[in-house]
A = this chain, B = another copy of it.
């Protein structure tokens, strides 16, 4: 759905800022607490942090033309905005608490698009127990972007799952299946919150990150300096959708698993002395989410070594800004 309206009376410019903000609050409904704990004062006042937990914060936007386009409904764009931030909270083993949204938009953005976007955001926020506590609206000619800052907290006992704590001989796992995002997962993926929280509680997970820029780039997130990440290409769980994508792209399905962004699966390491059979059984007792052991960290020059690598293969991940 194209977010812009050729009819000025249907565009947000016809409302002005104050009326628009009032509507945004209405559309957010119960997901937006009453001021001072929500929108309506100079700042929002936040609820207290749960004792013995640590606060987490992350920020990711969605921008028209970059993260979504006319093929996508406003509800899907809203889902993506929240879920890509939730994926970061999941990668730390946390649970989400509240969010602030700053909107930058052209005055010709249609009111109905924004209404559906905010109503969609409200549904998503309720589903994941997130309060939208604050926001801002700024005009920006020819632009439409929503910038979310999402807060969360660790569960009371454990520490957050950090990126680079792993030691040599740590086995490397990924959740789910990779490389199928160009078809539908960009918008409908499930952030691995339950899995991340479970890993944080397990006591054996030594590092974790989410896969947002492709395995070929994000392997580095869990690879400390002085270690090398060894991945067995035959162990990488390639999504069924990657097959169809492959037919159009002329690249192999494995190529998409390594180089496409936005899988939003977790990549993590376990302590080298973990009983892997028991761990996998325990995982299967808790989750339907596929779990794949794809490699191991070894001592050596930092970087990536691929076992069973196809000829002429390239695994660099998705590079932004180029």
Taking Cβ atoms with an 8 Å cutoff, the residues of A that contact B are: 12-13, 15-18, 20, 35-36, 40-46, 48-49, 54-61, 63, 65-67, 87-89, 91-92, 94, 100-102, 104, 107, 133-143, 145, 147, 149, 152, 160, 162-163, 208-210, 217, 221, 319-322
Q: A149 with B100: in contact, given A91-B42, A94-B43, A320-B137 (CB under 8 Å)?
A: yes
A20 to B56, CA, bound (A): 23
Do B16 and A60 touch across chains, with their CB atoms under 8 A apart?
A: no
Closest 10 pairs between A and B when the two form their complex, measured CB to CB: A42-B91, A17-B320, A46-B55, A43-B56, A149-B149, A147-B147, A42-B88, A43-B58, A59-B102, A59-B136
**A88 contacts which chain B residues (CB < 8 A)?**
42-43
- Cα–Cα distance between A310 and B141 once the two chains are bound (Å): 35
A265 to B17, CA, bound (A): 21
Taking CB as reference atom, which chain B residue is nearest A60? Answer: B136
Complex: chain B residue closest to A139, CB-CB: B321
Say whether, besides A143-B143, A147-B61, A160 and B17 are in contact (CB < 8 Å).
Answer: no
Q: How many copies does the complex hold?
A: 2
Assess the B92–A43 pair: CB atoms within 8 A: yes
Question: How far is B152's CA from A142's CA once the two chains are assembled, in angstroms?
Answer: 33
- A60 / chain B contacts, CB cutoff of 8 Å: 102, 136, 138
Give the CA-CA distance A35 to B19 in the complex, in Å.
41
Main secondary structure of the interface of A (DSSP, over half): mixed
Decide if A43 touches B102 in the complex (CB within 8 Å): no
Between-chain CB contacts (< 8 Å), 28 pairs: A13-B322, A16-B322, A17-B321, A18-B217, A20-B321, A36-B160, A41-B209, A42-B88, A42-B89, A42-B208, A42-B209, A43-B89, A43-B92, A45-B55, A45-B56, A46-B54, A46-B56, A46-B57, A48-B49, A57-B100, A57-B133, A60-B138, A61-B104, A63-B104, A65-B140, A66-B139, A67-B138, A140-B143
> Shortest CB–CB separation between residue A106 and chain B, in angstroms?
9
Chain B neighbourhood of A43, CB < 8 A: 56-58, 88-89, 91-92, 94, 152, 160
Q: Report if A320-B16 is in contact (Cβ < 8 Å); known contacts: A54-B46, A60-B102, A135-B59.
A: yes
Q: Is the CB of A321 within 8 A of B137?
A: yes
CA–CA, A251 and B163, complex, Å: 58
- Closest Cβ of chain B to A104, distance in Å, is 6
Partner of A160, one of B18, B45, B134: B45
Most buried by B among A147, A209, A221: A147
B149 engages A42 (CB within 8 Å)? no
Residues of B within 8 A of A35 (CB): 162-163
Residues of chain B with a CB closer than 8 A to A13's CB: 321-322
Please give, as numbers and ranges, the residues of chain B lying within 8 Å of A94 by CB-CB distance. Answer: 43
Asked, given contacts A15-B321, A57-B46, whether A92 binds B134 with beta carbons under 8 Å apart, the answer is no
Nearest CB in chain B to that of A319: its residue: B16
A67 contact set on B, CB distance < 8 A: 138
Q: In the complex, what residues of B have CB within 8 A of residue A319's CB?
A: 16-18
Residues of chain B lying within 8 A (CB to CB) of residue A46? 54-57
Q: Which residues of B contact A140 (CB under 8 A)?
A: 63, 65-66, 143, 145
